[in-house]
Structure formats: C-alpha cells, structure tokens
Structure 1
Amino acid sequence: MDKRKRAFGIQLVPAVPAVMGFQNGRMGRSRMEATMAKKETTAAPKNVPTHEAFVIDGEGEKAFWTRIGCAWQHNDTNGFNITLTAIPVNGRIVLRAKKESGQ
C-alpha cells in the first residue's frame, strides 16, 4: 500500500502553494517592495469618528463615564451617524467632540 494516507477512498496529498514565490507574501517582489506595500495597506482610515458616545451614571464629580460608541458628523453638519457597542439600561448618553490624540 502507498505511504500516502487515504480518507473516504480519496488519496490525500500534501498541500503545495499554487503560485511559486508566494512565500512570506512577497509574490516575487523584493523585500523592500513587500514592506512598502504592507505600509500602504495599513494606512490610517480617512473616515475617522468626529465624536465619542458615553453613558453617564451619577451626577457631578461622582459621575461615572463609560465610552459606548462613536459618531461621524454628516458632510452637511446637520446630523450624525452613530455606532454603539452597548445600549445603556439607565443613565444618559452624551456625545462629545473627540479629543486629539496628543491631549
């Protein structure tokens, strides 16, 4: 009997890459070209949220703020698209302008 394994009457053969030179995702490109291509594809998205959504439980200095989502302002500045990762059972939702990363 052949040394290759059989399953359900089908001979199993080790997988071989369909395209030679595809090792490490380079597809025959130089290492520098492959690195540059990765940097281009991992660029920051242009559509960044303009506001953050919080649920606030409590009042004053003892209030507890929990971030629950983001909001994108419409181009005409008359509304928002809001994405929430949680829906609060109690408390209030507040939209705040997103702070810059350096602040």
Structure 2
Amino acid sequence: MASQCDRKLSHDYMRRHNEALRCIHLQLCLNYRLTKSKKIRNHSLQECVSNDLAEIRIDTRIPTGIKVKYNKPDIFILVKLRKEILFVEVGITSFDHLRAVEYKKKDKYDLLVNH
C-alpha cells in the first residue's frame, strides 16, 4: 500500500509541476508577445516558440562546449535583443523543504552559469 501511495504522490507532484510550468510558459509567451491568448485552458506547451524578441524552449538540452551533468532546464529563454539567457526551474515541494529544493535547483546549473 505504501509503495502505491508513493507512486501516486510522485504522479501528483509531476502533474502539479507540469501545470505550474504551463502557467509560467503562458505568462512568458504573453510577455514576449509569442501569443495573444490569456486563457490557460487553451495553452499548450510547445518545445520551442520564437519571434524577433525571444526564443523559449521547454525541457530541451542546451548544447555546451563542456561536459555538464545538468543541461536541460524546465524553461530556457533566449532574450534576443539583450543577448541574455535565462533558465527557469520549477520545484513543487512542501514549505518545510522549500529552501533545500531552492538551493538544489540553483546549484544544478552553477557550472553553466559560471562557464
């Protein structure tokens, strides 16, 4: 019974993660004028959307010149005018574990950020 609960809990966390990702993706698409629709129920995650302002990728490996363990952020944003790259990592956790998850997510991409 406990193992079934763990599987269900894992599924629930993944579902909430994907829903949060979809909400963030919609807001980013609106911010960078990649969509005009504000309705979340009609919004779907596309692997890559792009225009002259930005390129947004979902769960896509980032090609690097160095070997890195973590190079697949939840959301990768290339802001074309500023030549800036942003990573978004979504973490669904309890309040008690919030700081630990936050540090883990930040540390994941330190090598890429500092390279």
Task: Tell me the TM-score normalised to structure 1 length.
Answer: 0.24
Is the helix fraction higher in 1 or 2?
2
Task: Tell me the TM-score normalised to structure 2 length.
Answer: 0.22
Q: Which protein, 1 or 2, shows the higher relative CO under an 8 Å CA cutoff with sep ≥ 6?
A: 1
Larger radius of gyration: 1
Is the strand fraction higher in 1 or 2?
1
